Amino acid sequence: MRLDKYLKVSRLIKRRSVANEACDAGRVSINGKPSKAGTEVKVGDTIEIAFGNKAVKVEVLAVEETVRKEQVKDLFKYV
């Protein structure tokens, strides 16, 4: 699944367009490498998102096309 779509489905970023902009600005990295919006996300990857002066780091546990709000916690865990 594309990185921007994963960020939206997992609700780490609210909108896909915002996720796209964050990727283009270089604020999102997978496994320590800056990543574009089209980068493929796989189970086991570590995603880091820089929000201003704080960063969120998560490990991908599952990749799903659609998810209910209650099931979001099964997609990733904070590292």
User: Which pLDDT value is given to residue 41?
Assistant: 97
Predicted model pTM: 0.94
Find the mean pLDDT for residues 19-23: 96
User: Which pLDDT value is given to residue 9?
Assistant: 96
Give residue 11's pLDDT band: very low, low, confident or very high (50, 70, 90). very high
Give residue 60's pLDDT band: very low, low, confident or very high (50, 70, 90). very high
What is the DSSP secondary-structure string of 11-76? TSSS-HHHHHHHHHTT-EEETTEE--TTPBP-TT-EEEEEETTEEEEEEE----SS--GGGGGGTE
Find the mean pLDDT for residues 63-76: 94
